[in-house]
Chain A
Amino acid sequence: MGWVDAAVQGVLLGGLYALFAAGLSLIFGVMRLVNLAHGDFSIVAAFLALVLVDTTGLNPLLAPIAIVPLMAAGGYVVQRGVLNRTLGRGLLPPVLVTFGFSIIIQNLLLQIFSADSRRLNPGGIETASMALGGGLAVGWFPLLTFVAAVMILAGLELIIGRTSLGRAFRATSDDQETAQLMGIDHRRLYGVAMALAFAVLAVAGILLGIRTTFTFSSGPDRLLFAFEAVIIGGLGSLWGTLVGGVLLGVAQTVGAKFSPAWGVLTGHLVFLAVLVFRPAGLFTRGSGR
Chain B
Amino acid sequence: MTLLSVRDLRAFYGDFQALFGVSLDVGDGEVVAVIGSNGAGKTTFLRAVAGLIPVDGDAIRFAGEPVGGRPAHELVARGIALVPEGRKIFPSLTVEENLQIGAFRRRPGPWTLARVCELFPILGERRRQRGTTLSGGQQQMLAIGRGLMTNPRLLLLDEISLGLAPVVVSAIYRALPAIVAGGTTALIVEQDVSQVLQVAQHVYCFRKGAVSLAGRPADLTRSLITAAYFGT
Contact = CB atoms under 8 A, between A and B. Distances in A.
A183 B84 contact: no
A225 to B, nearest CB: 27
A173 B101 CA distance: 13
Given A182-B101, A182-B150, A183-B150, A177 B52 contact: yes
Interface in B168-213: none
Contacts of B82: 181
Given A171-B90, A174-B90, A183 B50 contact: no
B96 to A, nearest CB: 10
B25 interface: no
A167 B103 CA distance: 11
A95 interface: no
Contacts, number: 69
Contact of A171 (B76, B92, B150): B92
B97 interface: yes
A175 B132 CA distance: 13
A168 B97 CA distance: 10
Q: Is the interface of A mostly helix, strand, loop or mixed?
A: helix
A129 interface: no
A25 to B, nearest CB: 15
Contacts of A164: 100-101, 104
Interface string B73-105: 110110001101000101111000100111011
Please classify how large the interface on chain B is, using the bins under 10, 10 to 19, 20 to 34, 35 or more: 20 to 34
B52 A170 contact: no
Contact of B73 (A171, A174, A180): A180
Nearest to B92: A170
Nearest to B80: A181
A173 B73 contact: no
Contacts of B105: 182-183
Contact of A178 (B74, B77, B84, B97): B84
Given A182-B146, A183-B104, A170 B72 contact: no
B76 A183 contact: yes
Interface string A152-183: 00000000000010011011011101111111
A182 B102 CA distance: 5
Interface residues of A, number: 19
B93 A182 contact: no
A8 B50 CA distance: 56
Nearest to A29: B92
Given A171-B93, A174-B91, A184 B52 contact: no
Contacts of A186: 73
A184 B92 contact: no
A54 interface: no
Interface of B: 50-52, 71-74, 76-77, 81-82, 84, 88, 90-93, 97, 100-102, 104-105, 146, 150
Interface of A: 164, 167-168, 170-171, 173-175, 177-186, 286
19 contacts: A164-B100, A164-B104, A167-B97, A170-B92, A170-B93, A171-B90, A174-B90, A174-B92, A177-B72, A178-B84, A178-B88, A178-B90, A180-B51, A180-B72, A181-B52, A183-B76, A183-B77, A184-B101, A185-B71
